[in-house]
Amino acid sequence: MTTTMHFLRAHYLLMTLTGLIFSPVFCIQKLESTALVSCQENSRFSASLFNVVFTPNNNSASFQIVATSTVENYVTFDIRAYAYGYQILQRVVDPCQLDVGLCPMQASRLTNKFNQKVDPAFVKDLPGLAYSVPDLDASVRVFINVTGTNESIACLEAKISNGKTVNQLAVKWLTAVIAGLALTASAVIHFLGQFNAAAHLAANALSLFGYFQGQAALGLMAVHLPPIVQSWTQNFQWSMGIIRVGFLQIIATWYQRATGGTPATLLDSLASVSVSVQKRSAHVRRKEDESGMHIVRGIERVAFLSNIETTNLFLTGVMFFVIFVFGTVLVVAGFKGVCQLLVKKGIMKSHRFTDFRRDWRVILKGVLYRVALIGFLQMATLSLWELTRVDSGAEAALAVLFLVGLTGFLGWGAFMVIRTAQRSVAVYQNPAYILYSDSRVLSKLGFLYIQFRASAYYFVIPYLGYIMLKSLFIALAQPRGVVQAVALLVIEAAAVISASVMRPWMDKPTNSFNIAICVVNFLNAIFLFIFTNVIGVPGVVVGVFGVVLFALNAVFACVLLIMVIVSTTLIMLRKNPDARYRLMADDRASFMKSEINLDTVKELDALAATARGDKSRSSLQLGQKRSQSPIAPSVPLLPTSSSRLNSSQSALSTHTS
């Protein structure tokens, strides 16, 4: 008991500090509940609408309730309050001693809206921190017992909230902007020819985005989650395209009606029906109880908390993905047009962005592979989930189109990577030669393999399989939270073992970065399995692990964001970003064109031309000469600096002799 109380005090202190960070400064103290669920079989009292707000400033509570009672007897109310699975209060109240008209209780349908004064002695038993802890994991359970026999004839449970939460718009914008800027910066650095720096930045940005999607996936699981875990995972649902925009919801509703579907109206019925967000009560197992109260879980829970109708969720994700794709295409095409115009006007030197302006169509295909890989988990999950619902025939067709299209697109890209690497091994005994020497292959397919070492080019296949497996269990096992938790535990265990043993990424820092993410994802899977409570742990243990999951991921996310911000800033500020990183052990730098190599080549060409007495040829003209690609003769290929040095020395020797 003493240990538990010490934990609760420490926990309240931690969560109060968190509340000061995430919550507004000036807030009215209150405790509220928006749903009253039955917590025993054959309960003789149920409520379809229940809203109560208690304000300690005036010791009053306002009630709005629509309920049905079949109880006809003298009863007592056994009231028990729980915080993080630990019982903090128990009171037995006799309604005959109160002026509430329940002495005795009568079978009837109650439709009341009233205010009730609360006993000050009862208020004193509530800890003051209950009003400031964000995402308070508290509940009140009321057993209605027959007077004299203490037979329980009804059980009601209400989840308590204080209105404070870690689900903050600022967190969503911050994480989205940083991830987006990192991905954009990696593309810009790549266009500038700094392939080594671009590869590192792209690998870290992709891993960061994947971690955010992993956080969102936890919230999509149909598992009883503690309130703070629900709110924390909501901060990352933007990475799955689950973003509410008013006019897009109107379009989604119109499209569904136009294609023969029936839009859901759950959000419009909140004035008459309570919605219970599934948390970690073992008693709530039905989607809708006898009173008509709607219970949401998994993907439906995320939609409800995002203020999106469940029938609009798939189309919302599709529209954001399409906007992302077309926006990216317009940016690339527009940048190419601007570069051409600036060169034509003489504002920009002709050698700037030469590769991009020449091969911009190939680069655009590579950008589309980036977009497809980033959105694969989102579209695979939402498409598979839509196929289990079929909100309309047209939406089901869209789901098949996006699922098959993206899977085929990425699968074909992975096949071409493996085929190209095998050809390189057969001809040059090195998979890196063609993968990194041919600029067309690198620009088009590089995002699928550049983050891995050359000998682990095939790891794109396990990576895509990892994403598809997660999507399958998230989407198709929605009614089975335990199945989802066990499957995720196995998948993440396989991922962390594979990453730790094989270490497929390009260098030690990148391996450490990604292995750390795999370890945290595995720990999250363990926590999720504990939340299912199939092993029968005490409620306070579930509450503890909910807080630990939030604290662990909040700190880890901050560390990842700081690392990405620092590395991106240093790369953008350095004149030669490639010089910041060591050369890869797979010798890819020998086959890749970079601005550093170009500068060296120009100097050596100038020296060779001077030695031959050929002053009419500028170093820039000589520097633009390239050998031909082993795949496409029209593609220029830069040889290694050492070969250029040897040729220059040979020219000097010939001239001297």
Which DSSP symbol is given to 278?
A: P
Read off the pLDDT band of 499 (50, 70, 90): very high
- Residue 522 Cα distances to 359, 494, 518, 623, angstroms: 41, 9, 6, 50
Residues 396-437 have pLDDT tens digits of 999 999 999 999 999 999 999 999 999 988 988 888 888 888
Mean pLDDT lowest for which of 199-208, 535-544, 614-623?
Answer: 614-623
Side by side, the strands of the sheet bearing 31-33 are 31-33, 45-55, 60-69, 108-117
Q: What is the pLDDT of residue 653?
A: 42
Joined tokens for residue 363:
């680069």
pLDDT band for position 338 (50/70/90)?
confident
139 falls in which pLDDT band (50, 70, 90)?
Answer: confident
* Rounded Cα–Cα distance for residues 299 and 381 (Å): 10
- State residue 602's pLDDT score: 47
User: With bands split at pLDDT 50, 70 and 90, how would you rate the model's confidence at 590?
Assistant: low
The torsion angles phi and psi of 55, rounded to 5 degrees, stand at: -115, 115
Higher pLDDT, 651 or 133: 133
Q: pLDDT band for position 592 (50/70/90)?
A: low
At 483, which helix (H) or strand (E)? helix 481-502
Cβ burial, residue 49 (10 Å; 0-12/13-18/19+): buried
Share of the chain above pLDDT 90, in %: 31
Q: Is the pLDDT of residue 517 over 90?
A: yes
For 82-91, 207-216, 420-429, which range has the lowest pLDDT when averaged over its residues?
Answer: 82-91
Q: Domains in the chain, start-ordered, CATH in brackets?
A: 31-160 (2.70.220.10), 166-240+480-579 (no CATH), 312-479 (no CATH)
639 against 82, higher pLDDT: 82
